[in-house]
Amino acid sequence: MKITKVAKAGTLESNDILIMVKPNEFGKTELELESIVMQQFGEVIEQVILHKVQEMGIEGISIKAQDKGALDYTIAARVETAISRAI
Amino acid sequence: MKTILGREIPDYIKGYGHVRPFQGAFSDVGVKTRTAVRLTSVIPNDQKVLPSLEDALDKLNINDGMTISFHHHLRNGDYVLNKVMERLAARGVKDLTVAASSIFPIHAPLVEHIESGVVTGLVTNYISGPVAEAVSKGKLKKPAIMQTHGGRARAIESGELHIDVAFLAAPTADTYGNVNGVYGDAACGSLGYAVADAEYADKTIAITDHLVPYPAYPIEINQVFIDYIVKIDSIGDPKGIVSGTTRITKDPVALIIAKRATEVIKASGLVREGMSFQTGAGGTSLAVAAELKKIMQHEGVVGSFASGGITGYLVEMLEEGLFRSLFDVQCFDLKAIESYRDNPTHQFMSASMYGNPHTKGAVVNNLDIIILGATEIDTDFNVNVTTGSNGVIMGGSGGHSDTAAGSKLAIVVTNLMKARLPIIKDKVITVTTPGESIDVVVTERGIAVNPKRADLLEKLKMTKLPLMTIEELKLLAEKITGVPKAVATSEKIVAVIEYRDGSVIDVVREVDSVS
pLDDT digits (tens, 9 = 90+) for B175-218: 999 999 999 999 999 999 999 999 999 999 999 999 999 999 99
Residue B275 is predicted with a pLDDT of 98
| Contact assessment for residue B41 and residue B138, using Cβ atoms and an 8 Å cutoff | no
d(CA A61, CA A3): 7
- Does B108 score more than 90 pLDDT? yes
Among B343, B342, B351, B281, which residue's Cα sits nearest to residue B312? B281
| Contact assessment for residue B157 and residue B133, using Cβ atoms and an 8 Å cutoff | no
**CATH superfamily assigned to domain B252-487:** Glutaconate Coenzyme A-transferase (3.40.1080.10)
Domains B45-241 and B252-487 share a fold: yes
Helix (H) or strand (E) holding B130: helix B130-136
Confirm whether A1 is domain-assigned: no
- Does B107 score more than 70 pLDDT? yes
- Does B71 score more than 90 pLDDT? yes
| Contact assessment for residue B351 and residue B153, using Cβ atoms and an 8 Å cutoff | yes
- Does B235 score more than 90 pLDDT? yes
Percentage of the residues of chain B whose pLDDT score is greater than 70 = 99
pLDDT classification of B282: cutoffs 50, 70, 90 = confident
Q: What is the pTM of this model?
A: 0.94
Classify residue B368 by burial, with Cβ atoms within 10 Å: 0-12, 13-18, 19+: buried
Mean local confidence (pLDDT), A41-70: 96
| Closest CB to A40 among B480, B484, B513 | B484
Confirm whether A55 is domain-assigned: yes
A60 interface with B at CB cutoff 8 Å: no
What average pLDDT does the structure give for chain B?
96
Best of A39, A68, A74 to mutate (most B CBs within 10 Å, chain B): A39
Total domain count for chain A? 1
Residue B243 is predicted with a pLDDT of 72
Helix (H) or strand (E) holding A34: strand A29-35
* Residue A57 lies in domain: 7-86
Give the residue extent of every domain in chain B.
Answer: 45-241, 252-487
pLDDT classification of B389: cutoffs 50, 70, 90 = confident
Q: Which residues of A touch B488 (CB under 8 A)?
A: 39
Q: Which residues of B touch A33 (CB under 8 A)?
A: none
Percentage of the residues of chain B whose pLDDT score is greater than 90 = 93
Confirm whether A2 is domain-assigned: no
CATH code at B45-241: 3.40.1080.10
Distance linking the first and last C-alpha atoms of chain B: 31
- Does B444 score more than 90 pLDDT? yes
d(CA B79, CA B130): 16
Domain containing residue A47: CATH number: 3.30.230.10
How close A27 comes to chain B (CA, Å)? 32
Residue B156 is predicted with a pLDDT of 98
Among B79, B70, B58, which residue's Cα sits nearest to residue B99? B70
- Cα separation values, B223 from A7, B80, B173, Å: 69, 20, 10
* Per-residue pLDDT tens over the stretch B32-51: 999 999 999 999 999 999 99
Q: Do A14 and B484 touch (CB under 8 A)?
A: no
Give the number of other CB atoms < 10 A from CB of residue B90: 11
